[in-house]
Structure 1
Amino acid sequence: MATQLQTAMEGLIAVFHSYSGKEGDKYKLSRGELKNLLQGELADFLSASKDPCVVEKIMHDLDENQDGEVDFQEFVVLVAALTVACNEFFIDAVESSRKAAKKV
């Protein structure tokens, strides 16, 4: 039986490969594939941004080797950064809730 972390890792790999390879290299995400992945899997994050160029900016930031594609390692950097941000948001929300409860 797989652990929670193993299941999460398998999920990341499966999501990446379900979007990669439709255009060009099957082990990388093209701009269009990255956009489809972000819209399909992280729509809430995209809608929170009011910047119409957010996908292009993400692509530019992730594409460390500047080959116009995002490989799995570059994709994991995005997932890790978003996960850290969500964790920080959660911690801040819990701390705010505790402070508010103490005042009551």
Structure 2
Amino acid sequence: MSSKLVQAIDTLISVFHTYSGREGDKCKLSKREMRDLIQNELAEYLETQKDAMSVDKIMSELDENGDGEVDFQEFVILVASLTVACNSFFNHEN
């Protein structure tokens, strides 16, 4: 049986590839794919996901190489940033 951390890594990879490749490069998220992922997977943490400008802002901040898409490494930066923010919030609340 895998550890919780290994399961979390497997889940990150699986979620990314569930949305990537629906259009264009199967190893990157287009703007539409990223919007769908945010709406379906991160709605609890990103309440502004319904705002198209918010998705644009997230995309521009994550797209380090400027290709208009989010690759897995850039996606992991989003997840890590959200994880740090949530940890800080919950530590502050307690």
Q: TM class, shorter-chain normalised?
A: over 0.9
Residues paired across the two proteins, number:
93
**1:49-64 matches, cutoff 5 A:** 49=48, 52=51, 53-64=53-64
Q: Distance in 2 between matches of 1:44 and 1:87?
A: 15
Return 5+ residue gaps in structure 1 as ranges. 95-104
Contact 2:39 2:49 in 1 (8 A): no
Contact 2:38 2:46 in 1 (8 A): yes
Match of 1:99 in 2: none
Partner letter of residue 27 of structure 1? Answer: C
How far apart are residue 50 of structure 1 and its match? 8.5
TM-score, with normalisation over the residues of structure 1? 0.85
In the TM superposition, what whole-angstrom CA distance separates every residue of 1:67-97 from its partner, at most 9, and x where no partner exists? 0100000000000000000000010001xxx
Match of 1:76 in 2: 76
Contact 1:62 1:74 in 2 (8 A): yes
Contact 2:16 2:72 in 1 (8 A): yes
In the TM superposition, what whole-angstrom CA distance separates every residue of 1:8-38 from its partner, at most 9, and x where no partner exists? 0000000000000001000000000000000
Query: Runs of 4+ in structure 1 displaced over 4 angstroms?
Result: none
TM-score, with normalisation over the residues of structure 2? 0.94
Return 5+ residue gaps in structure 2 as ranges. none
How far apart are residue 45 of structure 1 and its match? 2.7
Partner letter of residue 65 of structure 1? Answer: N
Match of 2:66 in 1: 66
Identity of aligned residues (%): 58
- For the pair shown, the structure with the greater C-alpha radius of gyration is 1
Q: Distance in 1 between matches of 2:46 and 2:24?
A: 25
